[in-house]
Structure 1
Amino acid sequence: MIEPGSLIRSLSGRSAARNFHTFVINEIGHGIVTGKFPVGSILASDAVMMETYGVSRTVLREALKTLEAKGLVEARPKVGTKVSPASRWSFFDPQVLFWHFEAKPDRRFYESLFDVREALESRAAELASHRRTADEIRILKYWAHQMDIAEDGVEPHLLAALEIHRAIAESSGNALLRSVTGVVELTMVLSAKFAPPADLRQRHADYVAQHEALVSAMERGDGDAAVQLMQSIITRDKQQTMAVFG
């Protein structure tokens, strides 16, 4: 399991410390999502993978069980470990989403990400506008301020923005809406990665203004305005991401 913000932090080359178990999970999972291990292929034997990754059989087996739980592989008697069809992958799993960041751009997949994000975050913004507490508004204002003072720092800017979206999901009072956090983070990072080479400071200023307006709408209890502003933020991220396809 990875922590929220891990993908954003990876933009600066920082990665969380990993033990052997998570190392193997990451190496194989990343290989599957990016196509190194194609769907339908059979992974190497235990002996080969143990030598390749420098781990024991116990560590390897536990890693494969984790990948199987994520829907990426399937162990078959007398056949081996087979890479599962993408339709079986757990796309809401933050780690699976993390691996997609380095995969080849896929228009349909990116569109699907934004469809899901818009549907769930719009609802979260509406609910949070009516259910938020004074303390939750203070938290949202704090992170909006952190976005503002980040200026040209992409990482702190995006981390603060992610915290706003996580706080909105929390304020919605719907535990299931929190599951969209991984999708939000991936789409934010893709937006930053593929954004046209315009003035970074102006982009940040516009993004801060949108989020400040969203927090203000929620503070007023204006659910309709909050939904519109959330959709505007998501549309901005989508337009910048889809620019990669020309």
Structure 2
Amino acid sequence: MGLLETAITGKKRGSSHAHVVAELGNAIVSGKIPEGSILPGDAELSQRFAVSRTVLREAMKTLAAKRLIEPKAKVGTRVLPRANWNFFDPDVLEWRCETGIDLTFIEHLAEMRTALEPAAAAAAARRATADDIVALYAIAARFDDLAHTPESIAKVDLEFHLAIARMSGNPFMHSASALIEAALSIAFQLSSPASSPDMIEDIAGNHLRIAHAIASRDPEKAIAAMRHVIDVGRSRIQKSLAPADKDQAGTGT
């Protein structure tokens, strides 16, 4: 289950392993378990989560692979500094979103999308097959529906952007798709374009321009069109957050 699907349905993965990973990972990313601290031993954690040591050890291996923790002989399992965390990992991104979304986080996400997605669009303009382009137009056409709900338009949006990542032919682009999904998940929750017919028309037109640029084999137009879509989304989310940020500043929280 992806980050966007989790945001839409509210459902979490249900295995014991997934539960332990999510509870500890969220606590680390939120700061409830501080960076540099030593986690309790296996016996205590197994009892706390009511899981076998085998399940616990597999969960710890998963968290270590995400660079959140590191086991040290004769010391224990240490929580790594934030600079070590793998923010390209979908789970780490999900936990970061769950800790609270602020303007700084939005800006960081937008910066990464601006670095990656226009390049993916340019690569797609050079490498996409005729079938790829037909499929992209089919997705783009589904934006233009005034009956869209926040859920339905978010799913189309994600499908469109992931299609371009695949069409780029660059496996690194596809591997970074969790960033795209995080941004669209935030947009779904805070400022969906489905809230206004005009916004639906705008998002449909903006994404159609990306498809046109790719179909015309024009990398520069593809770059410009993708940047515009990212900038519009960033601006929309920033506006939705601004009143809350001002309220917090006024109360000193």
Pair in the same fold by TM > 0.5: yes
Distance 1:80 1:234, change over 3 A: same
2:177 counterpart (158, 177, 181): 181
Q: Report if aligned partners of 1:147, 1:156 keep a CA contact under 8 Å in 2.
A: no
Task: Give 1:157-168 correspondences, 5 Å limit.
Answer: 157-168=153-164
After TM superposition, the score normalised by the length of structure 1 is 0.89
SS at match of 1:123: helix
After TM superposition, the score normalised by the length of structure 2 is 0.87
Aligned residues: 242
Q: Quote the Cα distance in structure 2 between the aligned partners of 1:150 and 1:89.
A: 41
2:65 corresponds to: 69
1:120 corresponds to: 116
Q: CA deviation at 1:53?
A: 1.4
1:208 corresponds to: 204
Query: What letter is aligned with 1:176?
Result: F
Q: Report if aligned partners of 2:88, 2:176 keep a CA contact under 8 Å in 1.
A: yes
Query: What letter is aligned with 1:35?
Result: G
Q: Residues 156-203 of structure 1, C-alpha deviation per residue, up to 9 Å, x if partnerless?
A: 211111111111111111111112211011112222333399943332
Distance 1:150 1:12, change over 3 A: farther
Q: Report if aligned partners of 2:114, 2:227 keep a CA contact under 8 Å in 1.
A: yes
1:170 corresponds to: 166
Q: Report if aligned partners of 1:193, 1:241 keep a CA contact under 8 Å in 2.
A: no
SS at match of 1:156: helix
Quick check: 1:135 aligned with 2:131?
A: yes
RMSD (Å), alpha carbons: 2.1
Q: Quote the Cα distance in structure 2 between the aligned partners of 1:48 and 1:107.
A: 38
1:195 corresponds to: 191
Percent same amino acid among aligned pairs? 36
Q: Report if aligned partners of 2:150, 2:193 keep a CA contact under 8 Å in 1.
A: no
Q: Quote the Cα distance in structure 2 between the aligned partners of 1:196 and 1:135.
A: 30
Q: What stretches of structure 1 of length at least 5 have no aligned partner?
A: none
SS at match of 1:82: strand
